A = this chain, B = another copy of it.
């Protein structure tokens, strides 16, 4: 699948611009990221004030950070946030203090089994401070006094998210969400953002049947906030995907919605099967990304999580190894194509009624059928036509027809169009 690709390259370039920014669930990193997205997409940006009650949760204080380092006794910076945004425990409180190595170490996170990678750690809901570093560097620290400086603020402010709504022919909505709360992590943030952005650009440029809603939100608290602020919109959401982990070289993984056999589940599984690519389909479980919230029992939305390698299943997950070399243009692009294919089927997957349902209509007199019985150059087209006519009883969507007949969705949809032109088929409203 490795190929030269302009769209993949441009998605990767967007990831490159976003990569160094220290995002979190609130703060200027998110704002700066969303402004970059606005250059390509007319996103609305929302600010929800700290302290606002959102269901069982409260919008947290806003966190911002400018500088953070640890100096040894000689004044050398042994850890420096300026070098990598993962070096700081996300949501660390401000500090300027001297301390012995022993005490410092109790605030340091490292990965003994992956000594050359910086781990990613957060503490959103317990106020504390900390640093993350390569285990190999931690082991070089010598006893003695260290100066620790964290120039951060944790204050009343707001939670920021971006949203784009594209109205369609019908009010029923499809939702796509990407999380924007991770700092310098390429696959676990930026690849999903890039895919959703490109998908939205494509849908914005054309007329759609469904209305589409794109959310660029902090994980967990972001989706909770959005759902709490938009409860009136929830009943209109008929399908959705949470987009994450879409740039690594692994196979695709689809985690079904809690319902398990929703139309979106069937479509993604169909697209994966038809792709001929190795892939995995797994059942819903209440852990992972924001499908946790969309599929909570009061909503039980038809929202799945469509990724490449599943979270936690690649060694670079939640470390500095999840970078712009792990994520490659061709993989992001391939992911985009899969999402586009899903949308294509979703848009086309209507239910039709045969307008001449008593016996077969006479295809020949409409030029739809080879007039010489017993020989035909277009058996496949004829079979597709007969299948569509036979199953167009209002119970079968086009995808149902494709599955029952074993004929590709593309051909079924094309034949349906032909039959509509000939007044033999009409959409069931």
Given contacts A125-B365, A223-B359, contact A374 B285 (CB under 8 A): no
Q: Does A286 contact B (CB under 8 A)?
A: yes
Give, as a whole number of angstroms, the nearest-CB distance from A161 to chain B: 15
Chain A to chain B contacts (Cβ below 8 Å), 9 pairs: A56-B356, A56-B360, A121-B374, A123-B371, A123-B373, A227-B359, A231-B358, A285-B383, A300-B393
Sorting the interface of chain A by its residue count into under 10, 10 to 19, 20 to 34 or 35 or more gives 35 or more
**Residue pair B296, A372 in contact (C-beta under 8 Å):** no
Given contacts A387-B285, A390-B296, contact A318 B55 (CB under 8 A): no
Stretch in contact with the other chain, from A98-106, A136-144, A287-295, A339-347: A287-295
Residues of chain A touching chain B, judged by Cβ–Cβ distance below 8 Å, are 55-57, 109, 119-126, 220, 223-224, 227-228, 231, 258, 285-287, 292-293, 295-300, 318, 354, 356-362, 364-365, 371-375, 382-383, 386-387, 389-393, 405
How many chain copies? 3
- When the two chains form the complex, which single residue of B55, B292, B300, B390 contacts A286, counting CB atoms closer than 8 Å? B390
Residues of B contacting A298 in the complex (Cβ-Cβ under 8 angstroms) = 354, 357-358
Nearest opposing residue in chain B for A258, CB measure: B390
**Residue pair A299, B387 in contact (C-beta under 8 Å):** no
**Residue pair A55, B297 in contact (C-beta under 8 Å):** no
Given contacts A373-B124, A374-B122, contact A357 B297 (CB under 8 A): yes
Residues of B contacting A56 in the complex (Cβ-Cβ under 8 angstroms) = 356, 358-362
**Residue pair B393, A359 in contact (C-beta under 8 Å):** no
Residues of B contacting A405 in the complex (Cβ-Cβ under 8 angstroms) = 285
**Residue pair A55, B125 in contact (C-beta under 8 Å):** no
Given contacts A56-B362, A300-B393, contact A126 B372 (CB under 8 A): yes
**Residue pair A360, B124 in contact (C-beta under 8 Å):** no
Nearest opposing residue in chain B for A317, CB measure: B374
